[in-house]
Structure 1
């Protein structure tokens, strides 16, 4: 039977309170009462108390390290606690409240998300939204299920943005369940909300299938080979493939062409080298079709964050030797799209730099959102921050169309 008076003399004072605190933390976390515990910046009295307990010097320096296994053995031999630290925990600490243990377990379940957000600041808004809504607790019945869910979410998000992958394949490779990212599944809810933030939109969508499809596409995930598409105009296709012939007919008629990922996966376009202009918004391409028709030079629209089909087309054009120039909206979302493109293909700014922004008289609404550096022009972010207005492509259409005409001449 434990000697409570001796235990209180050895471990019940203020000088050893830190040691009992370390034991209590281990109990809360469900860890064994063994191993080394350390106190930084130990006082003289704290060191002397440990030396009385151990019966020897406790080292030198400012920190103080104690082997719980040694303490356990000493207490057993001395008879102060025949059952070792188990007796100490029972008599001096008591039972750890279940609610406290549960709180620690939930915090541990969220830790993978914290680590990911620390590594990827662009997910900070998403991480805060998860906490504010209690989303993980709503989707998982207990800390164990939550831990499995958050770990799976991190595995998926580590692979995103992707250069192009089917949703079912991504789910199978990261979670072991090909349907794990289907609509309504807990994992899909967590990951899709993060995809929206990577896209530059709020973590909550509008509830439509189109919005979900667009959000997946923004991080390079396609639900199938037909739902991912790309809009283009003026691409001269070859006669060797169906896709090449489709492009040739569209160019001859001066009409925009919508190509699916399926049409591009095994395509040899036969477009050839030359300058390909890339824009962010469909209005640019539609206006070019209206005003230039069959005379429009090659033009591709990314339509927001590039989809898998956009990436595939750009890769095929690059393989043919195409040289790209890009124009997007002068706002934080537009800069992020430009950065995403520049991470994968080489392009030159097409009136998409600080000098052009500063000289443009047109103005849209107020600039909103989280700022971003432009990898192609360090001066663009400061210019936007000074002026605090956004300029969409629609507002500079005449100049862009003149540039396209100049390429034909």
Structure 2
């Protein structure tokens, strides 16, 4: 006759290596199955000396499993065996909890998935209120697994901070701490953790460049969004930039304009007081060679021109944010993909007029001996769609220096 649930010494198995083996196997199964006491688990019988005898007792078998290498442990029967008064009267779940807390790993994973899904929905909702464009969609897509869920490398808190920061960009020369306070109400929100990296990844997609890892590259990338990491390093060079104020920096700018001297303005200088232009038009170029040529050729007669010297810095944005109402901004860049993107953003941000950034100017400047291959991600030119098409066809970039004679005529 088969043995009962209380056979073979009953509670005498408590505290033995044999019972420890069964409980460890049961714990692993339960924690991966919503803590449900159901199903079975394989037990290696050589894990403890008398394990086959204990398994026979739990399974209600009169024969030992001496020749078998493994056996299936039915969790429901094991629970009933442990719960029998002769075997201690404490069921499987309570027995395991007496030893250590049980982790419902399925529930924990499901809760985490819910939290990440809500965080992703919140991010999408917040960014949907901005007009940043498709690069933000590409950034969010880059954070997802193949099944559309938020990737494991992305912390929920970091995503929330990064999204809030991106929603308030671009800034006009604000510091990192000011942006953090504006976006999150916490000046330290961008001082550490994963949020700064996520923001930089998004800005890299916007600029069509790899995410920088060096301090200078990181500073310059923040500055493309008008955020200052260092108010003394962020600068803009101007020529002929006369202003209506009379404070120290204003006088320096006016004196330099009268003398035809290119004048570098740091973000720190710009924040010392307003610098309101007196000219009706401000020209913006990308390369310092244009300002140098204008200073050499036109001197104090040059029109007001601002040089970004590459990607527009926080200082550029801060200066232009203080422009006189009604001022026309004429903006240009190199004829390359980055140049098209920068001009496009200037049109959107400042209602700028593209300055000789058209198909005719490109074709006039195009010369295989003085051009170079286009690099990076292609861009569009909504103000003159044929320009981008022509650049696609030729595959050549033309630097701004090739157009200096035409630019000087506009500045005179």
TM-score norm. by structure 1 comes to 0.63
User: What is the root-mean-square deviation of aligned Cα atoms in Å?
Assistant: 3.4
Unmatched runs of 5 consecutive residues or more in structure 1: 1-26, 29-94, 141-145
Q: Retained in 2: the 8 A contact 1:167–1:224?
A: no
Partner residue in 1 for 2:386: 379
**How far apart, in 1, do the equivalents of 2:215 and 2:308 lie?**
20
Q: What's the CA shift for 1:266? A: 5.5
Counting only pairs closer than 5 Å after superposition, residues 168-317 of structure 1 correspond to structure 2 as 168-182=177-191, 184-202=192-210, 204-205=211-212, 207-223=213-229, 225-238=231-244, 240-265=246-271, 267-269=273-275, 271-317=277-323
Name which one, 1 or 2, has greater alpha-carbon Rg: 2
Q: CA deviation at 1:264?
A: 2.5
CA deviations on 1:60-94 (whole Å, 9 max, x unpaired) are: xxxxxxxxxxxxxxxxxxxxxxxxxxxxxxxxxxx
**Paired residues of 1:113 and 1:150 also in contact (CA < 8 A):** no
- Give the Cα–Cα distance (whole angstroms) in 1 for the partners of residues 301 and 163 of structure 2: 48
Write the distance in 1 (CA, Å) between the matches of 2:290 and 2:157: 45
For the residues of structure 1 that align with 2:387 and 2:303, how far apart are their CA atoms? 28
Residues 237 and 243 in structure 1, CA contact (< 8 A), matched pair in contact too:
no
1:221, distance to aligned residue in structure 2 (A) = 1.3
CA contact (8 A) 1:112 1:154 kept: no
3-state SS of the aligned residue for 1:325? strand
Q: SS state of the match for residue 198, structure 2?
A: helix
State the SS of the aligned residue for 1:318.
Answer: coil
| 1:399 equivalenced with 2:412 (yes/no) | no
After TM superposition, the structure 1 = structure 2 runs for residues 1-40 of structure 1, keeping only pairs within 5 Å, are none
Partner residue, 1:153: 162
TM-aligned CA deviation for residue 230 of structure 1: 1.6
Shift of 1:316: 3.1
Report the alpha carbon displacement of residue 340 of structure 1 after superposing the two structures with TM. Answer: 1.4
Could you tell me the TM-score, scaled by structure 2's length? 0.63
In the aligned structure 2, how far is the partner of 1:371 from the partner of 1:117? Answer: 28
Distance in structure 1 (CA, Å) of the matches to 2:173 and 2:395: 34
